[in-house]
């Protein structure tokens, strides 16, 4: 086994790289992509340079770590940005600016209405009648403030 590690040539590295990429494509786990790319890079380096087996494995290891870290860093930055602007699972913020027709009369102050599949606490300044078109203009905790359109 150790002899195989010492006798890696261009074809071994390219086959290893493509094999890891193929396994990644079939499983979709996200872990083998960077190792596969590193194997391909080492194979391409061997086409140009004559590198000792120790340096081949060192290059493969360092490239795998560097590419994995670079991907993690890029993805982490993207996730943080998306989390700040995403409305996923923030139903109250999704409702901000939403316009709809009232199905019930509302008295001034706090009321409860049905919007879609949820019951919401709403607050209005003046009485509103059934059939009026209103818009969610602000959020105060879990209370939505409504105004006529």
User: What pLDDT score does 34 carry?
Assistant: 93
Helix residue ranges per DSSP H, 49-141: 53-85, 91-95
Q: How many CB atoms are located within 10 Å of the residue 27 CB?
A: 10
User: What pLDDT score does 77 carry?
Assistant: 86
Residue ranges for the chain with pLDDT beneath 50: none
User: What pLDDT score does 63 carry?
Assistant: 96
User: What pLDDT score does 115 carry?
Assistant: 83
Q: In 3-state terms, what secondary structure has residue 42? A: helix
Phi, psi of 131 (to 5 degrees): 95, -15
> Domains in the chain, please, with CATH?
2-85 (no CATH), 91-148 (2.40.50.140)
User: What pLDDT score does 89 carry?
Assistant: 65
User: What pLDDT score does 96 carry?
Assistant: 84
pLDDT digits (tens, 9 = 90+) for 77-108: 888 877 767 666 667 677 888 899 999 999 99
Say how far apart CA 18 and CA 33 lie, in whole Å.
Answer: 10
């Amino acid at each position: 086994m150790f002899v195989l590690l010492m006798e890696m040539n261009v074809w071994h590295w390219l086959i290893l790289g493509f094999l890891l990429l193929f396994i990644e494509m079939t499983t979709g786990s996200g872990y083998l992509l960077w190792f596969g790319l590193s194997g391909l890079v080492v194979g391409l380096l061997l086409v140009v340079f004559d590198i000792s087996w120790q340096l081949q494995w060192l290059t493969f290891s360092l490239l795998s770590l560097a590419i994995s870290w670079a991907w993690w860093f890029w993805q982490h930055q993207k996730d943080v940005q998306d989390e700040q602007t995403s409305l996923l699972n923030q139903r109250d913020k999704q409702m901000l600016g939403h316009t709809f027709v009232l199905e019930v009369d509302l008295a001034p102050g706090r009321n409860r209405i049905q919007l879609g599949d949820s019951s919401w606490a709403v607050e209005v300044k003046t009485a509103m009648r059934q059939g009026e078109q209103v818009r969610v203009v602000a959020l105060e905790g879990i209370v939505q403030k409504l105004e006529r359109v």
